[in-house]
Structure 1
């Protein structure tokens, strides 16, 4: 009875052992993504299941009996990695095998696995068991990600912009060195919503609203706000753009963006708008002046040729005025330079002209009208007055009225005196354009007071007009 029981137990043990070995064989042969094989004590392959053949590309007939070192890359073989791996397994009980290996085709296979020594009943090593999983695709993705991160880092730290990474809600997760240098805020201070401390208080709410809008459409972020510059505490306008780079099932997960300084561009656009408005204003005024000159000239001449000549001269004066109005900043126009410009157009003989007065600037508001007045006086002097008479002369004086009268307000006074041979005025001609300009236009346009006295032996014209602030 005892013998039968003992025999039964031995048979049961043999069956269990056989079942376990069969199950292990099935596991090894069906693990297609795992390379599970053994070598003898010298490192030569002595078992090569289908999984190993699938991972490394070697058939059983090709690899059996050959060194497992064939599976290592040339550089690892040269460094002695195969032998070091076996020695570590013997000394420590196992050794990691995480590295690139050589495929039968010459390509590389990335394996994550281990090596264990095989020993007999007495503990003597008889070979090695190697188990490794093919992780090539994952490793390639990791390398691609690392390379992408490195390219991003190089780009983000070299471009002249404030680069950042953020969540969909606008929480900062990383900021470039340029951001830190510009704002003085390090990564820790900028994380989350800390970056808002560098944004102008009036712009913070708008910046967050823009992030809410970007999170909803999941396409891009765009906003303009002022960022404080650490160097001088100045808030400068920046244009911020961001795009999503990582996604989850719920939408964008991470964004990358940059802020570009557009402060100078905004100032330029504002100045451009002012210039366009000024240009439109001046163009309308110029057309009105041309129309008025044409109308007044036609009313003071007797023939078309006379109109053409007079109109041409007046347009020339108007052209010179526009040149003065378009001068660059810092090119001041003084009363003296204005007088010289118009007299130069009608005479080369300055021996009969005297001018005296301080340096007084002519403001843009009065420049056009005053130039036309001086042009009319100069033209009339050349055609009918002192410059048309060999013995005639012109004396011009200008001054600030308060310089001669302590109780007077700020006015520019110009006195124009002509002396010429006695003559009788032509009463058949209508009152000239120049006199109309002096007696009617200047008082209306500039709030000036004028006096125009024409006698047989001379002309005395006095202009008194308020000084512009820049003339003071």
Structure 2
């Protein structure tokens, strides 16, 4: 330590001699210890480091010469300088023995203070220098330890990092190649160190030109970044993001590179671009289909009421097919699932449907067209065919045929069939399901019931190892039809046109007061100010979740349903008992669900 004093040791069996020498040696920065025997002196020297030992030659038991010899035989005390202090006459024999025992000098009694101080000053300064050197040595060891620890940490980080660390010199020769670089490029450091990067098929000429520009003498920028393709041992060129730091040494500049493999990022960007393009394509196709359905419906409908009924039904068929495809992330979806969906919404009656066929999946485009086809077939059957009378039945059969699907819709038990004088939009829509191929769709207007034969030549995949989807069964709805007459309804919807449409439908159904809230705060405020009989809750309000609103509705015992384009998995959790009306929705579905909510509320109130 910087403030550690220099220590001298005086060994003499006479206390007065010790006090006299100590008085002559006293100075700042010096600490003088004393011992009255050789044993006591050795014990002190095992504890402290001494810059000088002053030994009396004549002491009982062990004299100064013997003590000096003991000191020289021990590693710890071997380097302590010794000056003998003696009152004996100056005898060359004695002096020689003292030097032989390890003494560096003699002082004769009576002691000359000037001589003592001058000799002690030499060893005091030597002690200071030794102390300073030791301090410097300790500091260097600490610095070396910290350096080694920092180097070990840096090596561990570089070796375990997902980044590759590579160092190039002024000539683009590889000087360092981390474990991360070995993993990233499949190349061992031993095979690359000391070689020009361009000679290893790791860096091409274009990349070398970029890196050489970073190392150019006139470039003052300390850091650079770019994207380059670098060579992998097996995969060839891989895209990499590179960050470079210029290190200036005494002889030349070096370039430290931190490299990230961005292969997965590039793939993700490509997939995202494809998905965005595919989404745009599907949205525009869907809008074009809606536009075509609207135009054809307007042209062929007798009045607006007929148009509304047919248009909304077709729109619902498309919407439900989209929901099925969304659940399968727009991959193929089972035909059985599409039929079950038609049963669930009431387009088909499970008790009056007989279906038979192997499990198959339809591609998204084919699924959407088949959804419209089944809707048209079921709607026509309900209006004019087998499903228009209680005893009518529909037989739906399909089979795989030469890579395609042959599907038959056969009606029995209905009124006598008379072939139409001309085809309507529904028939034309059914005919379009197979892409307009000649003979792909055919209708046989038999008196006992129409038979449609439809062949899909593409977009069909067999599911040999997948069991058929469970057949849905109709549930008897014996609940009395409740009415909305006089009910106060809260509509929580951020789309103004949708909110207006819902409001008009509710008022037509007899609702007494309809209030619209377009934000979470507005909804919570309305619930604190008024009492509502029912509520319709959108799944998201201007990007804000509606969990707090759903919880407040439950706390206030207000029956509610979700009205959303989201699926159940994206709605607030813990409210699975609340019905879900998916947008777009038919007015009959809205009225039916709200009536059931009122009915259940009254049942609970009666209990």
The 1:65–1:423 alpha-carbon spacing in structure 2 relative to 1, beyond 3 Å, is closer
Q: Deviations over 1:330-354 (max 9, x none)?
A: 9752333333333443356423221
Alignment of 1:138-287 (within 5 A): 147=146, 150-151=149-150, 153-158=152-157, 159-161=160-162, 162-180=164-182, 185-193=187-195, 201=201, 204-216=204-216, 217=219, 218=221, 219-226=223-230, 228=232, 233=234, 237-244=239-246, 246-248=247-249, 253-287=253-287
- Partners of 2:209 and 2:145 lie apart in 1 by 33
Mapped contact 1:227–1:237 kept (Cα < 8 A): no
The 1:68–1:460 alpha-carbon spacing in structure 2 relative to 1, beyond 3 Å, is farther
Mapped contact 2:417–2:448 kept (Cα < 8 A): yes
The 1:118–1:329 alpha-carbon spacing in structure 2 relative to 1, beyond 3 Å, is same
- Displacement after TM superposition at 1:308 (Å): 1.6
The 1:239–1:78 alpha-carbon spacing in structure 2 relative to 1, beyond 3 Å, is farther
The 1:438–1:332 alpha-carbon spacing in structure 2 relative to 1, beyond 3 Å, is closer
Q: Deviations over 1:349-372 (max 9, x none)?
A: 423221122233222342222221
Equivalent in the alignment of 1:393? 393
Equivalent in the alignment of 1:434? 426
> Quick check: 261-270 or 325-334, which moved more?
325-334
- Partners of 1:144 and 1:454 lie apart in 2 by 98
Alignment of 1:10-159 (within 5 A): 66=30, 80=49, 82=51, 127=122, 147=146, 150-151=149-150, 153-158=152-157, 159=160
Equivalent in the alignment of 1:452? 443
- Partners of 2:183 and 2:9 lie apart in 1 by 61
Equivalent in the alignment of 1:104? none
Aligned match for 1:416, one of 409, 414, 422? 409
Mapped contact 2:415–2:448 kept (Cα < 8 A): yes
- Partners of 1:242 and 1:145 lie apart in 2 by 28
Equivalent in the alignment of 1:17? none
Unaligned runs of 5+ in 1: 1-38, 44-61, 70-76, 92-116, 403-409
1:461 corresponds to 2:452: yes
Mapped contact 2:224–2:245 kept (Cα < 8 A): yes
- Displacement after TM superposition at 1:154 (Å): 0.8
The 1:164–1:463 alpha-carbon spacing in structure 2 relative to 1, beyond 3 Å, is same
- Partners of 1:394 and 1:118 lie apart in 2 by 124
- Partners of 1:68 and 1:281 lie apart in 2 by 97
Unaligned runs of 5+ in 2: 1-5, 11-25, 34-45, 53-74, 83-102, 107-117, 464-607
The 1:179–1:423 alpha-carbon spacing in structure 2 relative to 1, beyond 3 Å, is closer
Q: Deviations over 1:198-249 (max 9, x none)?
A: 8xx58633442331232234432433435647xxx556654332212x3258
Secondary structure in 2 aligned to 1:326? helix
- Partners of 2:356 and 2:303 lie apart in 1 by 38
- Partners of 2:167 and 2:51 lie apart in 1 by 43
TM-score by length of 2: 0.49
The 1:424–1:82 alpha-carbon spacing in structure 2 relative to 1, beyond 3 Å, is same
Secondary structure in 2 aligned to 1:422? coil
Mapped contact 1:157–1:178 kept (Cα < 8 A): no
Mapped contact 1:448–1:466 kept (Cα < 8 A): no
Secondary structure in 1 aligned to 2:204? helix
Mapped contact 1:168–1:211 kept (Cα < 8 A): no
Secondary structure in 1 aligned to 2:361? coil
- Displacement after TM superposition at 1:290 (Å): 1.0
- Partners of 2:255 and 2:76 lie apart in 1 by 44
Q: Deviations over 1:285-312 (max 9, x none)?
A: 1111111111111122111122122111
- Partners of 2:32 and 2:352 lie apart in 1 by 116
> Quick check: 339-348 or 354-363, which moved more?
339-348
Q: Deviations over 1:370-391 (max 9, x none)?
A: 2211221122112222111112
Mapped contact 1:346–1:382 kept (Cα < 8 A): no
Equivalent in the alignment of 2:337? 337
- Partners of 2:438 and 2:129 lie apart in 1 by 100
- Partners of 1:445 and 1:181 lie apart in 2 by 55
The 1:413–1:424 alpha-carbon spacing in structure 2 relative to 1, beyond 3 Å, is closer
- Partners of 1:222 and 1:146 lie apart in 2 by 37
Mapped contact 2:408–2:452 kept (Cα < 8 A): yes
Mapped contact 2:174–2:192 kept (Cα < 8 A): yes
- Partners of 1:442 and 1:234 lie apart in 2 by 45
1:380 corresponds to 2:374: no
- Displacement after TM superposition at 1:426 (Å): 7.6
Equivalent in the alignment of 2:604? none
Secondary structure in 2 aligned to 1:272? helix
The 1:324–1:350 alpha-carbon spacing in structure 2 relative to 1, beyond 3 Å, is closer
Secondary structure in 2 aligned to 1:302? coil
- Partners of 1:336 and 1:467 lie apart in 2 by 18
> Quick check: 79-88 or 444-453, which moved more?
79-88
